[in-house]
């Protein structure tokens, strides 16, 4: 999408962090933006701040892991703006514990927010973007952990899922005039380590979530790296550029490039090990 002025964007997880940075960048580019988040007070603060810049913005609260609430948010977006061109599936949580500390609730919550909200977002908003007749873009936030399994299992699984979903849909949605990008950020200054502040009551008490209560060495390192991480508004500008240029992958920095190179080298080595063998038929 070379020209964003006047287009309508729907952004989840938009009350803070990367989502807010993306909303700010899109609004500055002339987009009309519907902010969506589960955190109602922060959502209103974000909406008011953007509105004060004369941006055409609105806000709708939703737990995006619930398809019905995401559908209601889409209905509100259409009622307010009449069409949608850009979907940003950004809402995310930190994930559960490592092997030996898994629970049903932590897996259900992490998968629901990080992966299924992306699935439902595309299912609901894809036809709305098609109906505009003007093309559009879908951007889904994965993580560098969607390219290299460096965090915890449930987080890795959901982020790999977002990458795979985006890669597959890029080919199938291109003929419909819809570009697909996947955002794989590194350490960004967000509140991802305090994800449990928005834990829905239906899950009860979820053990093993990354809320700082049981920080191990990796979590302490990650918390410090996030505190000194990249400005979310910078990420927002990268996403804006990625939408305009239809980038398949949007990354924020090169810190983890060696780890990803090593992963793909290991995959290539697996093919090399069997290269001269003839499979049985």
Question: DSSP letters of 52-89?
Answer: TTT--EEEEE--TTSHHHHHHHHHHHHHHHS---EEEE
Q: Give the model's confidence band at 209: pLDDT under 50 very low, under 70 low, under 90 confident, else very high.
A: low
179 beta partners: 137
No. of H helices and E strands in the chain?
9, 7
61 beta partners: 37
Check 155, 160, 234, 249 and give the catalytic one.
155
Secondary structure class of 139 (helix, strand, coil): strand
pLDDT tens track for 193-208: 788 888 888 887 776 5
User: Across the chain, what does the average pLDDT equal?
Assistant: 93
User: For position 184, what pLDDT does the model report?
Assistant: 98
**For residue 16, pLDDT beyond 50:** yes
Q: What is the pTM of this model?
A: 0.94
pLDDT tens track for 74-119: 999 999 999 999 999 999 999 888 888 889 999 999 999 999 999 9
Classify the C-alpha dihedral 59-63-64-67 as positive or negative.
Answer: negative
Secondary structure class of 183 (helix, strand, coil): strand
- Please give the distance of CA 235 from its chain centroid, rounded to a whole number: 12
CATH superfamily label, 8-255: NAD(P)-binding Rossmann-like Domain (3.40.50.720)
Stretch 246-253: mean pLDDT, rounded? Answer: 98
Percent of the chain with pLDDT over 90: 80
Q: Give the model's confidence band at 217: pLDDT under 50 very low, under 70 low, under 90 confident, else very high.
A: confident
Secondary structure class of 213 (helix, strand, coil): coil
Q: Is 155 a catalytic residue?
A: yes
Secondary structure class of 103 (helix, strand, coil): coil
Domain boundaries, given as residue ranges, for the chain: 8-255
CA–CA gap between residue 137 and residue 119 (Å, rounded): 15
CA–CA gap between residue 260 and residue 112 (Å, rounded): 26
**For residue 177, pLDDT beyond 50:** yes
Neighbours of 252 (CB within 10 A): 21
Per the rule left: phi > 0, alpha: psi between -120 and 50, beta: everything else, 208 is: left
């Amino acid at each position: 999408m070379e020209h964003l002025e006047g287009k309508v964007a729907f952004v989840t997880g938009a009350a803070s962090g990367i989502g807010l940075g993306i909303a700010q960048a899109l609004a500055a580019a002339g987009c009309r933006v519907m902010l969506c988040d589960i955190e109602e007070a922060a959502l209103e603060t974000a909406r008011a701040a953007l509105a004060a810049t004369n941006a055409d913005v609105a806000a709708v609260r939703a737990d995006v892991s619930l398809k019905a609430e995401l559908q209601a948010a889409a209905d509100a977006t259409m009622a307010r703006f009449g069409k949608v061109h850009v979907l940003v599936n950004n809402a995310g949580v930190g994930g559960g514990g490592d092997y030996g500390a898994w629970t049903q609730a932590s897996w259900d919550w992490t998968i629901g927010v990080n992966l299924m909200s992306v699935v439902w977002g595309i299912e609901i908003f894809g036809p709305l973007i098609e109906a505009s007749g003007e093309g559009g873009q879908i951007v889904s936030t994965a993580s560098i952990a969607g390219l290299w399994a460096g965090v915890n299992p449930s987080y890795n699984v959901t982020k790999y899922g977002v990458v795979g979903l985006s890669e597959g849909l890029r080919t199938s949605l291109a003929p419909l005039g819809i570009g697909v990008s996947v955002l794989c950020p590194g350490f960004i200054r967000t509140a991802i380590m305090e994800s449990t502040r928005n834990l829905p009551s239906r899950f009860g008490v979820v053990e093993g979530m990354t809320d700082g209560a049981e920080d191990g060495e990796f979590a302490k390192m990650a918390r410090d790296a996030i505190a000194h991480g990249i400005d979310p508004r910078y990420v927002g500008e990268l996403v804006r550029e990625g939408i305009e240029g239809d980038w398949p992958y949007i990354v924020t920095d090169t810190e983890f490039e060696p780890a990803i190179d090593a992963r793909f080298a290991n995959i290539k080595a697996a093919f090399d090990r069997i290269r001269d063998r003839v499979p049985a038929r």
